[in-house]
Each structure stands twice: as C-alpha cells, then as structure tokens.
Amino acid sequence: MHIHILGICGTFMGGIALLARSAGHRVTGCDANVYPPMSTQLEEQGIALISGYDCAQLDLNPDLYVVGNAVSRGNPLLEAILDRNLPYTSGPQWLADNILRERWVLGVAGTHGKTTTTSLLLWILEQAGLKPSFLVGGVPQGLGVSARLTPRAESPFFVIEADEYDTAFCDKRSKFVHYRPRTIILNNLEFDHADIFADLAAIETQFHHLVRTIPAQGLLVSNGAETSLDRVLARGCWTPVEKFNDAAYWSTGEVNAGGGFAIFHAGQAAGALSQFSLAGEHNRANALAALLAARHAGVAIEHGIEALESFPGVKRRLETRGTRRGVTVIDDFAHHPTAIRLTIAGLRQRMDSAGQKTGRILAVLEPRSNTMKLGVMKAQLPDSLAGADAVFCYGHNLGWNVAEALAPMGSKATCADDLGQLVTAISKTAREGDQILVMSNGGFGGIHQKLLDALAAG
C-alpha cells in the first residue's frame, strides 16, 4: 500500500512514517517546511518528502492519505482530498488499525514527563531483552530513532507516548483514546493546550475516556499526588491501580551523590538505585512509574533498577549542547510553567550534587507553545522562573507583552524581540561556572549554537 502523510515532519507523524515503512508500505509525505532532524531521519529510511501542500501531490495517487493534526481545514491539499472524496484517516487511527491491534500496548499519558517516562520504560524493556516496538515524542539516547517496529513474533510489546492533544481536523478526541493500552501510566494532569481545551475539567473528561478503554486484566499506574487524577479515577475505573508518589503505596527516598535513590513500597524498602542520570524529584517519580509499568510486562523491580542505572537520557531533556569558556549550554523541552519550575529545580540539584554550588543558572525561555502564545499562563511565569539566577525571554511574535509579564522579577529578567540581541545579552552576562538553560518546544532559531559561538568569541 502507498500512503501519503500530510504533516510528516512532526515527531508523531514522522514516527508513523517510520512504522509504516517498516511494515512494508510505500511512504511519501509533505509538510509546510521539510526540516531536520525528522526530515533527515525520514530520508535515511528512503521516504520521499515534499515541501508544501500543493494539489499536484494528488498525482502521486496514493492508496490512502494520513492527515496529521497540524493540518487544518483550508489547507489546499486537504481541501482537494475532501472535494474528490479520496480515502483519508488520522495518524492515531491508522496506527490503531494497522499496528497496535493484537499488541500489548504500554502507554504513558500526562501533562509533563511523557517523553522521559516513555523512554525510561522503553529502556527497561529493551535491557530485559523484550525488544519492544515503540513510538516516542523524542529520540531516546542509545536507540537513535523515535519509532521502531519489531515483528510481533519477536515481541508483543509496543511502548507509546500517549498524548492528550486532539487527533485530527476530523476527530477532536485525544490521540490516546485510539491506542487501547493494556498498561497505562497517568503521570500527572494540569491545564494545558488552551487552544483546544476550555478548562481542566475538559481534559479530565478525555482522561476518563482513556481509563474506560483499559481492560480489567490491565494495569493503571497513577500519580497519587495528583488530585486531578483522583477525580478522573473517581468517575469510574475497572482496572487494578498501582499508585506512586504516595507513601501508602510506592514512593522514593533521598538522593545519593550519584543521583540514585531508594524505593519504598508501603513504607518498606523495595530496592535502590546506586546512580541515576536524570536530576529532579519529578524524574525520580517518572522512573518509579516506569518500573511499575515494566513489572506488569514481566520485568522484576530489581532488574528494572539495574536497567535504570545505565539509562543514557533523552535528547532535549537537560541535554548538554556544549561548553565554552567554562559556561555550559543546556537544552530542554520545558514550556509549561510547572515543567519550567521542575526543570530549573532539577538542574539546581544536579549542580549541587556535582559540587557546583557557586555556579548560576541563566534561564532562557521561548514561550512558543499554542497555550503560551495565547497568554493563558503568563501570570505563572515569574514564579516558575524564580529558581533561576537570571532570566532571558524571547518575546518575538507573541500576542502579549513578555516584559510586562516578567516585570515582577525586576532586573533579574531581560526580554528581547530580537534573537541576536538576546544572544548578546546572555553571553555578556555569563561567567565561568554558569549553566545556560535554554527552554523551548521548538528550535528557538538555533540559539544553542549561537550562544556557544558568542561565548567562544569572548
């Protein structure tokens, strides 16, 4: 079968392309801007890419069009597909019908930490020799790709990042309702995606719909510290529940010098990591959730712990991009106020553990998610950034005033609409021992290399 994917360079749709190619389909695709790293990854797999959505692509005459959720009504190619009554489907629906059916799906849902927790779970299963298929919203270190399809005869397991964002122009349910997981992690639940959800209650309803699909012989791993998840489960749950971040169930202990920590079950010691590469309380919770989900798939807690001690990390999650003149530039995907706060706290903990207590954190933020662009969470930014020693914010192309929102931070915050000016201000402020923490869910104009170059130039 020949499938043509609209919006192919998004992480999810690019993953769909890789899976379809591995399943033996001919795959082509298009996007508004064909860009790396996804374009490079796809081209290496022999997938032909087209820039733009011109109607000439109908001449490819594919058997099916798979439409990503970034493609809206008014898109010329989509309109032509609808006018001619050509066969189309969404990415999640295609995945459910063609790949996930008859697989043991392990999903990771939540407002924050989905990519990291999915990668942790995947790493545990991989180290246990279970060879899971997967689709992740990032690139796990040590695996090199965002998606992989293992023949079902070799492994029934499929690990997926279960996103609550909407499915497509024709299906406004959350993506994750299509996946029918047997094992699901509910990491946390806060208000986000203000462009498609009116309030937190609307998101809780989608999570309730997800819970309704989990079989009675499955497992639901839920964050016991989240009252929003408690409300979701109170609406109906037909599946056994394991809770983490709850002293009465599963919890973690103090951090040692190597980042490791103890694990407790109902207050009793259940194991301990001697070392762990990810910093922060949130990442310890992510690891615990992954251990519990992996146990459901047959990996004993002690074997899961061994795997986590060698976990190499995830790209764009406190990823070091380089060091110049004693100043380190770090990349992170954080863009929600809670994620920003936790990321700064995690970096601070990592610096303290490494004896870098005199080093400063220079937080650099690009508010570019749809929710951030709407300004819904701008009032929360000063508190979320408070743990940094200095803050630099890029205010280009927003519908609200960044400087005004960060005014409570006084001279601690610097705002600029010009990327070059922002790079100059940061490089002039940085001194030996500092960590520049760049946070964005996009490419941020290549600011990481620009900063490294500016620092090198002195």
The dihedrals phi and psi of 30, each to the nearest 5 degrees, come to -145, 160
- The SS3 of residue 148 is strand
Which whole number is the average pLDDT over 307-333?
86
Across the chain, what does the average pLDDT equal? 90
Report yes or no: 282 and 342 within 8 Å, Cβ to Cβ: yes
Confidence of residue 255 (pLDDT cuts 50, 70, 90): confident
Q: What is the pLDDT of residues 197-243, one digit of tens each?
A: 778 899 999 999 999 999 999 999 999 999 999 999 999 999 999 99
Q: Where in the chain is the domain with CATH 3.40.1190.10?
A: 102-308
CATH 3.90.190.20 assigned to 319-457: yes
CA–CA separation, 281 vs 38, rounded Å? 31
Q: Where in the chain is the domain with CATH 3.40.50.720?
A: 2-91
With residue 388 as reference, give the H or E element that holds it.
none
Q: What is the pLDDT of residues 403-414, one digit of tens each?
A: 888 889 898 989
Q: Is the pLDDT of residue 279 over 90?
A: no
Q: Where in the chain is the domain with CATH 3.90.190.20?
A: 319-457
Q: What is the pLDDT of residues 256-272, one digit of tens each?
A: 877 889 999 998 999 99
Residues contacting residue 123 through CB under 8 Å, at least 6 positions apart: 140, 142, 307, 308, 311, 312
Which whole number is the average pLDDT over 425-439?
92
User: Could you tell me which CATH number the domain at 2-91 has?
Assistant: 3.40.50.720
Q: What is the pLDDT of residue 36?
A: 67
Q: What is the pLDDT of residue 194?
A: 64
Which whole number is the average pLDDT over 249-254?
88
Q: Is the pLDDT of residue 372 over 80?
A: no
Report yes or no: 38 and 10 within 8 Å, Cβ to Cβ: yes
Q: What is the pLDDT of residue 35?
A: 64
Q: Is the pLDDT of residue 177 over 80?
A: yes
Q: What is the pLDDT of residue 162?
A: 94
Token pair, residue 356, equals: 């870098």
Single-letter code of the amino acid located at 215: P
Range 102-308: architecture per CATH: 3-Layer(aba) Sandwich (3.40)
Q: Is the pLDDT of residue 349 over 90?
A: no
Q: What is the pLDDT of residue 367?
A: 85
